[in-house]
Chain A
């Protein structure tokens, strides 16, 4: 295995809280990220996702622990780390006082690209992210989604080896999200970029990330591919309804079939489904293979299957299994509103 592009050992960040109580934002994070991979940090508000990225990008030093990014220590060699990475923060990277075209150009120069190359990449990104109409307007007047796309463009200017993205698609409409992902994946293919991102969107982590790190209250609570997480932690649910008088027979068949497929808990949950029928639910692995077998077995045993349903878990179910709380409920409180300001900016 090649040396990991990010290697964190017991990375910890403690914020002094109001009064005496301190906040452990990140607790002993240990992980290795392989070069070229796409990894998602998944967790509810306040889990410590942004704080983790901020330590890795040298924005804040860890309270304890060590990490290297692109081979450089994040505390001792901050300049080398910054020269090797790109970062799209959770807040807006574009200044309200600037125009996007100017801002992209400056960004290129600050990454040492030179004038011609900066201009070339500026034009390319404005075109790719469909920002042509707003590129020469003061950014104050851009819509939330336009600002977010502008942030993405700013992060992509350096074409870094490693790009860290903090909730890149929050606030984007589905069309822009799709477009954004298409562009990010294309950049990744073209430049072999490594991506580490945080997200609340379960489907995004599910669809694009090769590896999902679930973080909750500063703790890394799971680390695997999305399909494996779902299979091992949640499993598929098979739900069948049968006439009430065949319930016992059906339960027996389900128990046997599920057990022979290796299910951890082959005992079906039974509940009343109304209309003189009962509902039986069992959790299994690879439900899509088992469901036809089960229907055949039930039929053969004389339990007539009235309805059959297969539910495959989402990462939300994984999260629920891990913490007893639903990620989806918590993330509904995500605020995308801009910070309020008092006083008058000049």
Chain B
């Protein structure tokens, strides 16, 4: 069987629980909505700009946040499937190790794009007016990023299979710095210079910047291709590391 067909079967399998309980997706919107509802007005008050303009700047960051938090947890599902045994069964099927990873990573794109679209719709009620083709390209970039982050999360889940607390420890350690050092919540240009320097090494920074210009329809801005390269890099590294881990995942 080809790796594409194999990946498709794994992808479909992973998607089934989501389709059976779509309510899961609604629930995971609570966190980003809280940020929109509580942090948005705060930001608007601090800058003195109206909420609609604040959202134009803030919502793209929240979409990257949804991508980050939505996909970073996914490795825990694999981790528990390894601990409980269903992964062992999958490893004995004729499906290749690469397909087991690629199928799972591809599935990450689906809930993420749905969540992002719903968020944009809700934000639109409060004055968020994205350039539609720009937003669509932005969602594609996020989907690619999500696939890469998901693959990395799976690699982490596999690495933590003998000590599952490691997974959560790394999550706690990595996620918030990644988020804060990408300018999702506040512009880093206003912080100390060293923070800005660190953010140059954070791929999320480029995605946030790309999304912000894309929702304005500014396709010519270099931030767009820089964001594309950052997303592609994360996915390339994620898939390489993920497939390698999958090969020794018992």
Decide: B74 and A91 in contact? CB cutoff 8 A.
no
Inter-chain contacts of A57 with B (CB < 8 A): 92
Q: Does A79 contact B (CB under 8 A)?
A: yes
Contact count band on A: 35 or more
A92 to B92 Cα, complex, angstroms: 14
| Interface membership of chain B positions 8-20, coded 1 if the CB is closer than 8 angstroms to chain A and 0 otherwise | 0110110011001
Would A343 and B85 count as touching, CB distance under 8 A?
Answer: no
List A contacts of B200 (CB < 8 A): none
Interface 0/1 of B89-127, CB less than 8 Å to A: 111111110000000000000000000000000000000
Let me know if A238 is at the binding interface, CB within 8 A: no
A332 to chain B, nearest CB (A): 23
From 92 to 135 in chain A, residues with beta carbon under 8 angstroms from any chain B beta carbon are 92-99, 102-103, 106-107, 109-112
Please, which residues of chain A bring their CB within 8 A of the CB of B164?
341-343
Is B73 located at the chain interface by the 8 A CB criterion? yes
B residues in contact with A155, CB < 8 Å? 89
Please determine whether B84 and A110 come into contact, CB atoms closer than 8 angstroms.
no
B74 touching A87, Cβ below 8 Å = no
* Closest residue of B by beta carbon distance from A109: B9
Contact call B94/A96, Cβ cutoff below 8 A: no
The yes or no answer to B29 lying at the interface (CB within 8 A) is no
Q: How far is the CA of A154 from the CA of B90 in the complex (A)?
A: 10
Q: Is A60 close to B, CB under 8 A?
A: yes
Asked if B88 and A93 make an inter-chain contact with CB atoms under 8 angstroms apart, the answer reads: yes
- Assess whether A27 is interfacial by the CB under 8 Å rule: no
Contacts of B196 on A, CB cut-off 8 Å? none
Of B33-41, B75-83, B140-148, B216-224, the one with at least 4 CB within 8 A of chain A: B75-83
- Interface residues contributed by chain B, number (CB under 8 Å): 33
Give Cα A60 to B249, complex, Å. Answer: 10
A264-279 interface mask toward B, CB cutoff 8 Å, 1 = contact, 0 = none?
Answer: 0000000000000000
Total contacts A-B at CB 8 Å = 102
Q: Is the CB of A79 within 8 A of B96?
A: yes
A338 at the interface (CB under 8 A from B): yes
- With both beta carbons as reference points, the residue of chain B lying nearest to A83 in the complex is identified as B94
Residue from the list B13, B73, B250 in contact with A106, Cβ < 8 A: B13
User: Does B86 interact with chain A (Cβ within 8 Å)?
Assistant: yes
Min distance, Cβ A303 to any Cβ of chain B, angstroms = 60
Q: Are A154 and B16 in contact (CB under 8 A)?
A: no
| Cβ contacts under 8 Å, B6 to chain A | 110
Cα distance A341–B82 in the bound complex, in angstroms: 12
Q: Mark B225-250, 1 if CB is under 8 A from A, else 0.
A: 00000000000000000000000001
Q: Is the CB of A59 within 8 A of B92?
A: yes
Chain B: minimal CB distance from A198 (Å): 15
Tell me the complex Cα distance, A129–B88, Å: 22
Measured between alpha carbons, how far is A35 from B10 in the docked complex, in Å?
32
Whether B89 pairs with A96 at a CB distance below 8 angstroms is no
A95 to B92 CA separation, bound complex (whole angstroms): 15
Supposing A106-B9, A110-B95, A346-B76 touch, asked if A98 and B89 sit within 8 A by C-beta, the answer is no
A346 touches B85 (CB 8 A): no
A76 CA to B165 CA, complexed, in Å: 35
Residues A91 and B94 in contact, CB atoms below 8 Å apart = no
Residues of A within 8 A of B89 (CB): 87-89, 93, 107, 151, 154-155
Asked if B16 and A102 make an inter-chain contact with CB atoms under 8 angstroms apart, the answer reads: yes
Contact of B77 among A83, A338, A342, A345 (CB under 8 A): A345
Nearest residue, chain A, Cβ from B18: A97
The verdict on A58 contacting chain B, using a C-beta distance below 8 Å, is yes
Question: A320 to chain B: closest CB distance in Å?
Answer: 32
Residue A339, interface by CB 8 Å? yes
A92: chain B residues at CB < 8 Å are: 84-86
Q: Are B9 and A338 in contact (CB under 8 A)?
A: no
* 22 A–B pairs (Cβ distance < 8 Å), ordered by A: A54-B250, A59-B91, A79-B96, A82-B93, A85-B92, A87-B89, A87-B92, A91-B85, A91-B88, A95-B86, A98-B13, A110-B9, A110-B13, A111-B94, A155-B89, A339-B84, A341-B164, A342-B164, A343-B164, A343-B168, A346-B74, A346-B77
13 additional A-B pairs beyond A59-B91, A97-B77, A343-B76, beta carbons within 8 Å, are: A58-B92, A59-B88, A82-B92, A91-B84, A92-B85, A93-B88, A95-B81, A110-B9, A110-B90, A155-B89, A341-B80, A345-B80, A346-B73
The 5 A-B residue pairs whose C-beta atoms are closest, nearest first, are: A91-B85, A93-B89, A95-B86, A106-B13, A87-B92
